[in-house]
Structure 1
């Protein structure tokens, strides 16, 4: 099993990045290969750059290749102003018409300092991914509230055993046959 991870945050010390790293470590410990796609260098979505007969920009081609090679995709993202961060939406826009997400197993984890755990972004991402004909595994989707209190701010390690249990269950659901 190969999981591709995407982070909706570009911050170096992002709690969502730490959560993504923790999930990746848990998956690797279970024998799953995990890679992370860098979406920060993608150009702004412009269909004119990718029309019929055009060669997509190199970062776009690399992202598409990574998604195509994965068995599943795990997205970990914050919520910005009750929505999906622009960098993540941009990456998904580049994948909409290319077909890599068709029937791809996908999980969404949103994390927020707010107790609701990024529920607006989680709902929006799941709807977008379903429209892209990804197979959203509902049991693998989480909303992690008060995330800062559940991670060590210096190391990014999970300090809440319940969160570790939830991540393991989500990964098991995502990787189930």
Structure 2
């Protein structure tokens, strides 16, 4: 099973990116989590460019999303909303055939970041994602200098994250069995 991971943060020391890397380390056997590293290279969404010949970074993202069984997203909250870079990436997926009915799980790295999570959930539902609510998790990483190794080594963080990835894999298998 292959799951793409998208961080909504461009910051080098991002806890959102770190938690996705930790999720990849903690994934059960048979589950591969593949990071999408090209979010910074996506052009601003422009419907005039959203045709048969989309920009190369958009094509790469769409090919990744089309080739995986699910999508794991972790994004910071900025000004009570979804990070612009993540919203831009999602805008490029709205009109694509790769995204509808794609299983999606969300990781929130701050218990205080509820507005972005709610907005992201609404956006994904509007885009016809199959949101695995039972696999969404909030981890208290706010204010810490967490990297993937620290997250994976801390039982209070690793166990809920591992469990969320396992629940997401089970959700994807259920979706695939019903398809």
Shift in Å at residue 30 of structure 1?
A: 2.5
Moved more, 137-146 or 6-15: 137-146
Q: Which runs of 5+ in 2 are unaligned?
A: 174-179
The TM-score with structure 2 as length reference comes to 0.87
Structure 1: gaps spanning 5 or more residues = none
Q: How does the TM-score come out when normalised to structure 1?
A: 0.88
Q: Which residue of 1 aligns with 2:176?
A: none
Cα deviation, residue 57, structure 1: 0.5
TM-superposed deviation, 1:146: 4.4
Distance 2:29 2:48 in 1: 42
Cα gap change, 1:68 to 1:128, in 2 (>3 Å): same
**In the TM superposition, what are the counterparts of 1:1-177 in structure 2 within 5 Å?**
1-27=1-27, 29-37=28-36, 38-51=38-51, 54-112=52-110, 115-116=111-112, 118-149=113-144, 152=146, 157-158=150-151, 160-176=154-170, 177=173
Structure 1: which 4+ aligned runs deviate by more than 4 Å? Answer: none
**Alignment check: 8 A CA contact 2:3 2:31 kept:** yes
> Which has the bigger relative contact order, CA under 8 A and spacing at least 6?
2
**Higher helix fraction (1 or 2):** 2
